[in-house]
Structure 1
Amino acid sequence: MIIRRRRPLALAAAFPLLALAACGDDTRDRSPPEAGSPARDESSRLRQSIEAATYAPPAPEQDEATSTGEADTGDTASRGGAVSGELPDEARPDPAMVRVQILLDRTRFSPGIVDGLGGENTRQAIAAFEEANGMDVDGELDAAVFERLTTGDTARVLTDYTITQADVAGPFIGTVPEDLADMAGLETVGYTGPLEALAEKFHMSEALLEALNPGVDFGRAGQTIVVASTGQPALDGKVARIVVSKAESAVRAFDAEGRLLAFYPATIGSGDTPSPSGTHTVRAVAPRPNYTYDPSRVSYGEGGSKVIVPPGPNNPVGSVWIDLSKDTYGIHGTPEPAEIGKTASSGCVRLTNWDAEQLADAVEQGVQVRFT
């Protein structure tokens, strides 16, 4: 259960973003590797393998101890062109999985963060895609799913992007404080740096962004980098009904005709602080909300004094708050997109910042929100 300032939907103007100087001075040489260098060649191979990735069935299961002493991960997508180096297989971006995740994102079946690693959020997105397309629903990436995704959208999944002055202007805060009181002392809870800001802008993990752009100084405007081509941010219609599934850890948005507009992975409450039950409505939307911890109004936390944390994408409720008619509850963003569906919340519904923003842009006061 989260408390923050609410305004009626028609008056929910964005909170002002206050200036804060960037922290730290990284003097390391982060110039892009020269053409023909191993790092540049590896990045080029990864990009090509993502664009050309095809489905390959999973390798037969091996014994827990293989000849190399490593366990088989059993991924269902081709590993051709995966990043080499010291990372174990399960931590390397899988080219086919990157392609699938970006295509799912573009078709509004969000896998959460695009990292090339797959996982439960991607399986849930695939299952929702299968259901919406009249396919057998098992959540597994197979030849039929891969073909349906890639034939339905033949555009390239990666694109070039030139870093702008706005991308590097900040304000950046270097490190996000763990203590709410320390966080409340900031002028804004901004991104830690341009790498985090750019990764979130394109729905990517920082590791994948760096793998595609080895050695790049993401804090220097004018550079052209390779990013996920996640398409247009807006939903194809207005949301009339939202269904929050606790069992699936997922949110579905429907229009007035019952057409599914979007699927999002979510973190939904916890055993100690469960999310609401029944049907509620959207009361207001607050872009760039602050976060208020008031021990007199919530059942979680360890007491203490009232704390108001300023707005920012690394604020505990992220970049946007969709206020519900159930007091102190809402649908909101998160400072940790990779943790969606993997951790608990204090009763609210937590999405990645970009998914929460997309949903918020398509809802109006009075939209029904049903918890199942």
Structure 2
Amino acid sequence: MMRWMFAVVALLSLIVPAAAGNLDAAAVNEAKRPAKQPSVDKVTASVTKLQILLDRARFSPGEIDGKFGENAQKALKAFAEQNGIASDKEIAPELWDRLNAASEGPFVVDYKITDADVKGPFLKALPSRLEEIKSLKALSYTSPLEGLAEKFHMSGDLLKALNPGKAFDKVGEAITVANVPAQRELPRVARIDIDKRSATLKAFDGADRLVAFYPASIGSPDRPTPTGTLKVTSTNDKPTYHYNPDYKFAGVKSRKPFDIKPGPNNPVGSYWIGLSGQGYGIHGTAEPDRVSKSASHGCIRLTNWDARTLGENVKRGTPVVFLDAPTESSSKREGRLVNTR
């Protein structure tokens, strides 16, 4: 029995380091195009690189998690269509080459954790009910890990997988992160199209050229997203969430309005783009991993970083077109993606 146990331990000691060794900076930076369709539930170096390439190209895969899930597939399909390349769920050589040609520098890099990353304050836990959240002084991150992951558009699990044994609450600790822009400027956005069928958002400049693509959560049949065309009325960094009892959200018993303090874990995230329809907006989220995978209460939900990029490049009066089916607005008029490098 003991001999069998020692054999298992020895075998595990060989397997675990090998698995961890497959996902490090060198593996991601040197990753080649996958020869077949990547896994939707397994983290790989090639998909991590692909998601970083898409993020840099302004075809957002949402949260970079190293998996070839629906948001990565949406972004890849949109990039392929924009560049006139035939695509299915396999990554065509021309697609891979085009993405790499548009990107420079290493795809993951070292980053030293700073005082600001660990300063906090952090929430011990994020309550699940809105009425419990309203008493909190701020809707902060729950840990340095959560803040660092969002800073680099990553999932916490991927950040941990790239940094085994690293302390994310230690100032000066060097960690491996996605090499994506901390802030991104777009050409001035002149129109926003929200495709409710595909749960995506596209931003166009004044010449009808596509300048950004994002996965998005939209409303449910019970709480639908608007139809027709609205306009941007405001933008707000670090918004306060105002609950109106007329919304009658499930699980909320309060018959009086209340406010929830700002922060990245606020119900509307860390950025709000107000629209002309009462109560509607495009906003961030406390759960980037659920973007386009779960329904909103009628608003348009993006990751915090995508909402901020979009919001910083729109102005009041920008039309927001809600599409129930493919139209000329979302296909024939797109033109080429603007290169701002």
Report TM bin, short chain.
Answer: 0.7 to 0.9
For residues 42 and 245 of structure 1, the distance between their equivalents in structure 2, rounded to whole angstroms, comes to 39
For residues 103 and 319 of structure 2, the distance between their equivalents in structure 1, rounded to whole angstroms, comes to 31
- TM-score (normalizing by structure 1): 0.78
Between the two structures, name the one with larger relative contact order (CA 8 Å, sep ≥ 6). Answer: 1
Q: CA deviation at 1:174?
A: 1.9
Task: Report the secondary structure of 1:264's partner residue.
Answer: strand
Whether 2:75 is the aligned partner of 1:97: answer no
* 1:127–1:140 contact (8 Å) kept in structure 2: no
Residue 82 of structure 2 corresponds to 132
Whether 2:164 is the aligned partner of 1:214: answer yes
Q: CA deviation at 1:142?
A: 2.4
Q: What are the Cα deviations for residues 208-259 of structure 1, in whole angstroms up to 9, with x where unaligned?
A: 1011111111111111111000135223311111000001100001111111
Which of 257, 260, 285 is residue 334 of structure 1 equivalent to? 285
Residue 188 of structure 2 corresponds to 238
Task: Report the secondary structure of 1:268's partner residue.
Answer: coil
Task: Report the secondary structure of 1:99's partner residue.
Answer: helix
Q: Count the aligned residue pairs.
A: 306
Q: 1:307 to 1:259 in 2, by over 3 A?
A: same
* 2:23–2:45 contact (8 Å) kept in structure 1: no
Report the residue type matching 1:205 in the other structure.
S
* 2:163–2:176 contact (8 Å) kept in structure 1: yes
For residues 279 and 110 of structure 1, the distance between their equivalents in structure 2, rounded to whole angstroms, comes to 24
Q: CA deviation at 1:303?
A: 5.0
Whether 2:2 is the aligned partner of 1:52: answer no
Whether 2:285 is the aligned partner of 1:307: answer no
Residue 175 of structure 2 corresponds to 225
1:1-372 matches, within 5 Å, as: 42-43=20-21, 46-58=24-36, 76-77=37-38, 91-138=41-88, 140-231=90-181, 233-296=183-246, 298=247, 300-301=249-250, 303-305=253-255, 306-372=257-323
* 2:194–2:200 contact (8 Å) kept in structure 1: yes
Task: Report the secondary structure of 1:262's partner residue.
Answer: strand
Q: 1:167 to 1:39 in 2, by over 3 A?
A: farther
For residues 48 and 41 of structure 1, the distance between their equivalents in structure 2, rounded to whole angstroms, comes to 14
Q: CA deviation at 1:91?
A: 4.5
**Identity score, percent:** 43
Q: 1:263 to 1:339 in 2, by over 3 A?
A: same
* 1:168–1:221 contact (8 Å) kept in structure 2: yes
Report the residue type matching 2:285 in the other structure.
T
Report the residue type matching 1:345 in the other structure.
S
Q: What are the Cα deviations for residues 345-372 of structure 1, in whole angstroms up to 9, with x where unaligned?
A: 1000000001001101101111110000
Q: Which structure 1 residue ranges, 4+ long, deviate > 4 Å from structure 2?
A: 38-41
Residue 336 of structure 2 corresponds to none
For residues 22 and 116 of structure 2, the distance between their equivalents in structure 1, rounded to whole angstroms, comes to 27
Higher helix share: 2
Q: CA deviation at 1:138?
A: 3.7
Unaligned runs of 5+ in 2: 1-15, 324-341
Q: CA deviation at 1:152?
A: 2.4
- TM-score (normalizing by structure 2): 0.85
Q: CA deviation at 1:125?
A: 0.3
For residues 123 and 201 of structure 1, the distance between their equivalents in structure 2, rounded to whole angstroms, comes to 23
Q: 1:204 to 1:182 in 2, by over 3 A?
A: same
For residues 169 and 207 of structure 2, the distance between their equivalents in structure 1, rounded to whole angstroms, comes to 45
Q: CA deviation at 1:42?
A: 3.7
Task: Report the secondary structure of 1:112's partner residue.
Answer: coil
